[in-house]
Amino acid sequence: QLGYVIGEDNLKATIKKYYNDFAFKHPTPIDFIRTAEKITDFELDWYLIDFAQTTNTIDYGVKAVSGNKVTLERIGLMPMPIDLTITYTDGTTEDYYIPLRMMRGKKPTTATTLSDWAWAYPTYTFEASKAIKSVQIDPKEWMADINKVNNKFELN
């Protein structure tokens, strides 16, 4: 799950540094998060608290699509950055990344990066560049979303 948040390469670098720094010692979960923060320059306290110390769930959905406007909603209580793919009516696709404001950073990606999503707002709306055929949240299925049924929206 952390790889989805910080990116796979950053996760690998975090694990390597964590091992080198804490081998044969008695680290705590906060030591791992602090190592990830050093590697990424992200703020990750929210991740440790929500993922390990609460029963908050991850659930995002595509709420509405109209023309080239997309509205997403956070249904679960755990905030996450969002990866999504849009297929346009002309058959082309485009990947988008929506950083989470509380991370104070964004993972390395080739996707189009949109403005960050503040955790206090349950919905997020943006406009794509063309008319939309379908929207898929987390197309690689790396996020621990508890209800993937609402992650895809297709227009007929």
d(CA 29, CA 62): 33
Full-model pTM: 0.90
Alpha carbon separation from 104 to 20, 23, 124, 130 (Å, rounded): 26, 29, 18, 29
Q: For the chain, 156 residues long, give each residue's pLDDT as a single digit of tens.
A: 899 999 999 999 999 999 999 999 999 999 999 999 999 999 999 999 998 899 999 999 999 999 899 999 999 999 999 999 999 999 999 999 999 999 999 999 999 999 999 999 999 999 999 999 999 999 999 999 999 999 999 987
d(CA 83, CA 113): 9
Map out the domains of the chain as residue ranges: 2-53, 60-154
